[in-house]
Amino acid sequence: MLLPFDFISENRRVFMQIVLNDKTFVAPSPKARAVRKAIELTKNIDFNDLAPENLDTLVGYVVDLFDKQFTIDDVYDGMDAEQLIPTLMECISSVVGKIGAKLEQFPKNVSAGA
């Protein structure tokens, strides 16, 4: 299954892009707050039993990631149903994954008091 979500590379920087209703949107580089929000979402939302308001929160997060270039309704009306959850998860994991990769570079045996 091809998702309407992808990454593009420009000058060694990677950006997220999403396609809704045959229109492509490119996300700006995520801010630190996006990482915090992604971690908060993954801790507070039961992804195996999504309530409608939680789904709205996740879609709203993606809208914010893309700097409100489209609306929540644009996502609901412009994306195939089978692509919604995988796209949301990919957006969240891409933000958290970038930070996780950076954390892997830190030495493992350094204590906070050292």
Residue 30 pLDDT exceeds 50: yes
Residue 47 pLDDT exceeds 90: no
Stated as kind and residue range, the H or E segment containing 4 is none
Q: What is the pLDDT of residues 57-108, one digit of tens each?
A: 999 999 999 999 999 999 999 999 999 999 999 889 888 876 555 555 556 6
Stated as kind and residue range, the H or E segment containing 85 is helix 81-103
Residue 17 pLDDT exceeds 60: yes
Phi-psi region of 110 (alpha: psi -120 to 50; beta: other; left: phi over 0): beta
User: Domains of the chain: which residue ranges?
Assistant: 5-103
Distances (CA, A) of 8 to 4, 80, 103: 13, 22, 23
pTM beyond 0.85, yes or no: no
Residue 111 pLDDT exceeds 90: no
Residues comprising the chain, all counted? 114
